Amino acid sequence: MRSLTKPDLVEDHLLQRQHERDCDLRTLELVKAGYSGPIPPTSEVIKLNAIAPGLGTRLVEDHLLQRQHERDCDLRTLELSNDDAKRKEGWLRYAGRGQAYGATSLFAFLLAAVGALLLDHPAVAIAFVSPAIVGAISKFLQLQAEGDEAKID
């Protein structure tokens, strides 16, 4: 084992600094060269691997992982939108059922009011028809409000 003298240490230091500058210049050249697309061309990947072993390969692997993540996010979004569509479909089914119940109760109120009128009880007829009229008016006002909101959006 030889002992290093001061000139040897200085020379080693200068060689190390020269190597670092060369690496910096190569990196700058790669950045200046630029490229289009998600990953650099193979020649650039090889140059990156020469600068820092595994750097180019890591860049490509990171890109592939990012693309897989984006695909997973897209699939998750599609699944959520399909779930939303199913929920809306179920909601519409329930809303339709509610409208059927409302129409049936309206028909029953009107039938009871006609029966009360036939039996000569007009006050009872008015009592049966009043909820139906109030319900019809509230539904009309609700539809008007929804129409106004749609115009605002």
Report yes or no on 144 lying in a domain: yes
Spell out the residues 6+ positions from residue 42 whose beta carbon is closer than 8 angstroms to its own: none
Task: Give the pLDDT confidence score for residue 29 in this predicted structure.
Answer: 66
Cα angle 74, 59, 48; round to 5: 160
Q: Are 35 and 14 in contact (CB under 8 A)?
A: no
Rg for the chain, CA atoms, rounded: 40
At residue 150 the predicted structure's pLDDT band, cuts being 50, 70 and 90, is low
Report yes or no on 4 lying in a domain: no
Query: Is the whole model's pTM more than 0.75, yes or no?
Result: no
Can you tell me the mean pLDDT for 13-34? 71
Number of separate domains in the chain: 1
The token pair that represents 105 in the structure block: 């109760």
Domain holding 84, by residue range, is 9-152
Task: Give the pLDDT confidence score for residue 24 in this predicted structure.
Answer: 72
Report yes or no on 1 lying in a domain: no
Can you tell me the mean pLDDT for 136-149? 77
